[in-house]
Structure 1
Amino acid sequence: MYPSAFLQSLLLLSVPYIPNAFAQSLYDSVTDPTKRAEFALSTLQIWYNAGTGLWDTAGWWNSANVMTMIANLAQSDPNNAQLQNLATRVFANTLLQAPAKNPQPGVENEAKRRRDVDPGNGTFTLLLNDTGTESGYSKSLNPGGIHEPITTFPTDWDADDGQYVDIQSLPSFASESKDAATQAALATSPNPEDWLDGFYDDDLWWALAWVGAYDVTQNIEYLQLAEGIFGEVTKAWPTRCGNGGIFWSWKKDYMNAIANELFLSTAAHLANRAENKDTYIEWAELTLKWFLNSGMINEQGTINDGLTEGCENNGYATWSYNQGVILGGLVELNKAAPNETYLPLAAKIAKAAITELSDDNGVIHDGCEPGCGGDGNQFKGIFMRNLQLLHQVAPDDVFADSIRTNADNIWMNNRDEEQGNTLSVVWSGPFVSPANASTHSSAMDALVAAISL
């Protein structure tokens, strides 16, 4: 664990002390969704590595999702000054520290330079490999069974996990006020290229994280950073299928759902916040049209992982996050450019996903459980986060019941008090040890979603 992060959780987000002898009964008796989420945040922040700006035991893109979850929690409890202080300082510190942890910086710029020499037969990849910009960071689908996404990091990428850094020595925490901390972080204009790693879904997770930071703080620089990241990803359009969409990565070897759903969602989020609204609406509408024509939505109304080289649905697993991101995208697009088809489409996908992914008790599962890797651990929370966005604008008992059922099961059946009230991957229980920042933050997405019910 990370000692200074533990101190941070005590200093910046105080919670009542519950003696161990009574912890089981007292924690079980907590029914208020906000208190549950804020208890869980105190545990989560033990993993926050102030020196790297990321959460130990979580990957690069996972940390972007953790930040988004914290932004959503902060928005749900705006009068909690300690929570607002913590969230604001985390955003500022992550802005300063995390770019140094980018697992593969520069590869997208090299890809753009080499694009003109690609005849479509692999020369592009060979040339890029020869430049030395690849770091060993890669993503692939496990070839066996359900094709679970797997992320591989460069050697020693996490070598500084757990190293002690005095929080008070860092600008974002040394500043007396959270506003001063933010200004220290923004003293040098944020550079979108700091957040690009060659995998466009990663890039867009970070764009949405900075949108969340903007929503909490109203600091325009965060929004501009999100715009800059999105602008870089637009250069990846189109794929070889249907003259549209974006690839999973600079390697141009897979066209999948998550990258394109994120492209749609980021464009729609920006349309409701940035000045050039029409441009973002156009990108979102263009992406939605391509996505609906791609065939990735199957006959059951759920979304498979991606397309074959022949541009057909590959029939791979219907991961929960692929059912979720599009919901938030459709909600934001309907807000920016109302269309009578958007919310009904979102509701249809959401209900199909709840039916397919829920067990007999209504708890959501992914097919990789209980042994999900670093990617799969994060998926279900993303679904809950976006289901809550849909429920806010199109209330439905099916959505509310799913959110409430999953949040209650997490709290009662998927929490280990002997390990500090950590939350693991199987929300119905039993607890799978050890938990980590990805499993914990993903479960917290459901706890945060329940606050609005």
Structure 2
Amino acid sequence: MLFSRHGLLIPSVISLLLTGSAFADDDPRARARDALNTLQGWYNPQSGIWDSCGWWDGASCMNTIADLAALDPSVMDTARYVFNNTFTVGPVSNPDPGPENKTVYTRDNQPSTSVNASLWLDQAYDDDGWWALAWIGAYDVTKDGTYLELAEGIFESLVSAWGTNCGGGGLPWNPTSKYVNSITNELFLSVAAHLANRVTGRKQYYVSWAQKEWDWFTAQAFIGANGTINDGLLDNCQNNGATVWSYNQGVVLGGLVELNKAAPNDTYLPAANKIAKAAIETLADSNNVIHELCEPQCLPDGTQFKGIFIRNLRMLQKASPHDLYRKVINSCANNIWNNNRNEKGQFGVNWAGPIVAVVDASTHSSAFDALVAAVAASDT
């Protein structure tokens, strides 16, 4: 039997060992199960997140597990274990509970009685958004309404931060900063749009916020001349020309897909396709493998970014199929498996290989996202 590094048996490992191994060959599901099994070697039952990665990375790891469980029910025991345990103990890992902590109101504008969303808030609004999406993912595969209510509560905290010096809208990066960055606002869009498709009786409320965010976002200078999204805005609200990170090209795709599902509009998917194609042109090599501009040294955060791009590209591929997206997904997954895997079955940051830098739960879970996307691509 397989035990975690902390001496506890990981649920469903027998199923994982039977269906996934280091010799999974060309079976996308077996590869993804094997990657999950390896990732769980980092999971810390006492902290509720994965050793060697940070607070927000933990939310991303959980989201990836939820995505695989939605595609492969054989891993549901492991997914439920992670969700339940992280929900219970995860707040102890919150590194910096921030000034945005307050009573969170949900649904009928009443204080939440079953969840305390403030436990999941730290001093960065983007981190809050990652956790909201993670709990939405957990809700999607378990239908446990407590998880959805937690995501609603986190979103209400984000709503209270609305309004910057750039056009009077959007969110700043954190409660003590005036920096207006792309990822925070893309996450706000995506969380609102996801909730619009899931919360009974409040669809229009969330649609309105998602549309308000997107209208504001497109009126600002986030998108550069080549169609990719830069990191954020200067104090004068002009594009700061900072790094074209892959996750800034990704989260917006999922947000637009969900918004188009909630409130169909003939501009949302074309806008998403334009961003996706520009990102691939900028970030993919000649073999259609996505790279981050920081490679091979992308710590502490950049190691997570590419998986988020592929996760959201997968959502766009489902809603608006394109041969290019399928090629990128499959090429990334195949190169990760064949060229970017060490003897322990762990993945590094350079998806084209070889492994030349630190391997940890962040680099591994990011690559794991690509393997999950390849499972989805094999189903269509």
Residue 42 of structure 2: which of 35, 40, 47 is its match?
47
Tell me the TM-score normalized by structure 1.
0.78
* Distance of 1:203 and 1:12 partners within structure 2: 34
Corresponding residue for 1:65?
60
* Distance of 2:83 and 2:157 partners within structure 1: 22
SS of the residue aligned with 1:258? helix
State how 1:377-392 maps to structure 2 within 5 Å. Answer: 377-392=303-318
| AA at the equivalent of 2:166 | C
| AA at the equivalent of 1:253 | K
Residue 327 of structure 1: which of 241, 253, 256 is its match?
253
Check the 8 A contact 1:53/1:93 in 2, yes or no: yes
State how 1:300-315 maps to structure 2 within 5 Å. Answer: 300-315=226-241
Residue 196 of structure 2: which of 271, 295, 310 is its match?
271
Residue 440 of structure 1: which of 340, 343, 364 is its match?
364
Residue 97 of structure 2: which of 100, 105, 123 is its match?
105
Check the 8 A contact 1:5/1:46 in 2, yes or no: no
Check the 8 A contact 2:296/2:357 in 1, yes or no: no
Residue 183 of structure 2: which of 243, 255, 258 is its match?
258
| AA at the equivalent of 2:373 | A
* Distance of 1:10 and 1:205 partners within structure 2: 26
* Distance of 1:402 and 1:335 partners within structure 2: 24
* Distance of 2:19 and 2:256 partners within structure 1: 42
State how 1:9-408 maps to structure 2 within 5 Å. Answer: 11=13, 13-16=15-18, 27=23, 30-78=25-73, 80=74, 83-109=75-101, 189-275=114-200, 276-408=202-334
Give the direction of change, closer, same or farther, for the CA distance of 1:14–1:34 in structure 2 (3 Å limit). Answer: closer
* Distance of 2:372 and 2:13 partners within structure 1: 22
Q: CA deviation at 1:437?
A: 0.4
Q: CA deviation at 1:6?
A: 6.5
| AA at the equivalent of 1:15 | L
Q: CA deviation at 1:295?
A: 1.0
Tell me the TM-score normalized by structure 2.
0.93
Give the direction of change, closer, same or farther, for the CA distance of 1:16–1:246 in structure 2 (3 Å limit). Answer: same
Check the 8 A contact 1:362/1:405 in 2, yes or no: yes
Greater Rg, structure 1 or structure 2? 1
| AA at the equivalent of 1:441 | S
* Distance of 1:7 and 1:221 partners within structure 2: 26
* Distance of 2:324 and 2:100 partners within structure 1: 42
SS of the residue aligned with 2:9? helix
RMSD: 1.8
| AA at the equivalent of 2:165 | R
* Distance of 2:369 and 2:63 partners within structure 1: 9
Q: What count of residue pairs does the alignment treat as equivalent?
A: 365
Corresponding residue for 1:173?
none
Q: CA deviation at 1:359?
A: 1.2
* Distance of 2:208 and 2:10 partners within structure 1: 43
| AA at the equivalent of 2:168 | N
Check the 8 A contact 1:268/1:329 in 2, yes or no: yes
Give the % identical residues.
53
| Structure 1 gap segments, 5+ residues each | 113-187
